[in-house]
Amino acid sequence: MATPRSTLQIRTSEDIVRVRQEVRARAIEAGLGLVDQTKIVTAASELARNTLEYGRGGEARLEMLQDHGRRGLRIVFEDRGPGIPDIDQALRDGFTTGKGMGLGLGGARRLCNEFNIVSAPGEGTRITIARWK
Amino acid sequence: MASDVGDRIPILKLGDALLVTIQVDMHDRLALALEDDLTNRIVQTSAKGVLIDISALEIVDSFIGRTLASIAQIARVLDAETVVVGMRPAVAITLVELGLSLPGVRTALNAERGMALIRTHRADELDADPDGDAA
Ligand SMILES: Nc1ncnc2c1ncn2[C@@H]1O[C@H](COP(=O)(O)OP(=O)(O)OP(=O)(O)O)[C@@H](O)[C@H]1O
Ligand SMILES: [Mg+2]
């Protein structure tokens, strides 16, 4: 079951900071502990930066979760950029087509309880993460 | 808060060390500006140490981590030792899971210990090379 949503545009590096701050506020609202908050904020920062740098900008949609009394937070990052041709390769630590360390995607997956990528060349990328209390 | 955007992070000089306390959630350009500014100040002041206090930082992601590592590497080439102090426990746990190892970055629990590390490093250097000129 999903409740209130909010959408943030990702167009500049200041927007990445805004995503971090909003995710922090929602993670606290969902009752996540400090370490879990830090994990999902860090994962969100990585994915927001990928959205900006590789996806040519896009948006983050935040959703509060509630399932049989369990609470959590889900975030969907979506862009209409070039897409990811080989998802397994992109997830591998150390793989980068930019100037990074290739840690963002693999790291974000490790930092969350749910992680899902939908992407195809020319069709953009949608990455969904969630962290439960 | 908004007025911090576009500002630069202040760098203080204390003896032959430079001191930076990161108090804002840095966006990427601000982090890069800090790297530039620190590089220039190390050269201008012949600083032998750089102490970066991150106790106010609520996260360190791959970009901030890479910037810290890059600062430490540049400082080393310029004969200055960098120590990052005050990392929060939750940040440390998250960094490990992210897979970030901060190559070349020395860390200390707090500013006092960080300064001690810088002084020790300096003393070792003076011992090894008392005139400060031999290769
Ligand atoms: N939204 C996206 N659209 C297109 N390609 C992407 C997207 N996100 C990631 N990628 C591709 O996947 C690769 C790996 O991403 P990842 O975040 O793991 O590493 P990085 O961004 O290159 O480096 P780091 O995150 O460590 O700074 C990227 O280099 C890029 O080629
Ligand atoms: Mg990345």
The shortest C-alpha distance from A65 to chain B (Å) reads 22
Give domain status of residue B1, yes or no: no
A37 touching B (Cβ < 8 Å)? yes
Which range of residues forms the domain containing residue B82? 11-128
Beta carbons of A37 and B28 less than 8 Å apart: no
What are the angstrom distances between the C-alpha of A47 and each of A10, A59, A88, A126, B87? 10, 10, 16, 10, 23
**Residue B58 resides in a domain:** yes
Number of domains, chain B: 1
B14 C-beta neighbours (distance < 10 Å), count: 12
**B4 is a domain residue:** no
Hey, is the C-beta of A26 within 8 angstroms of any chain B C-beta?
Answer: no
Beta partners for residue B107, in sequence order? B84
Question: CB of A17 within 8 Å of any CB in chain B?
Answer: yes
Is residue B135, in this structure, part of any structural domain at all? no
The per-residue pLDDT for B83 is: 97
- Interface confidence, given as ipTM, is 0.93
Interface test with B, best of A10, A16, A17 (most B CBs within 10 A): A17
Closest residue of B to A105, CA-based? B98
Q: Looking at the domain assignment, is residue B84 inside a domain?
A: yes
CATH of the domain at A75: 3.30.565.10
Range of the domain at A63: 2-132
Which three-class secondary structure state does DSSP give residue B69?
helix
Question: How many domains are there within chain A?
Answer: 1
Cβ atoms within 10 Å of B26's Cβ, excluding its own? 22
Residue A39's SS3 state is helix
Tokens (6 digits) for A4: 């209130």
Q: Which of B26, B89, B94 sits opposite A42 (nearest CB)?
A: B94
pLDDT tens for chain A, 133 residues long, are 556 689 999 999 999 999 999 999 999 999 999 999 999 999 999 999 999 999 999 999 999 999 998 999 999 999 999 999 999 999 999 999 998 899 999 999 999 999 999 999 999 999 999 999 9
- pLDDT digit of tens for each residue in chain B (135 aa)? 444 445 899 999 999 999 999 999 999 999 999 999 999 999 999 999 999 999 999 999 999 999 999 999 999 999 999 999 999 999 999 999 999 988 889 999 999 999 999 998 888 877 877 665 544
Measure the CA–CA gap between B85 and A108, rounded to whole angstroms: 25
> Is B2 domain-assigned?
no
Ligand 1 atom with minimal separation from the A127 CA = 1
The pLDDT score that the predictor gives to residue B103 is 84
Note the pLDDT of residue B121. Answer: 82
CATH number of the domain that B20 lies in? 3.30.750.24
Residue B127 has what pLDDT? 82
Q: Do B62 and A107 touch (CB under 8 A)?
A: yes
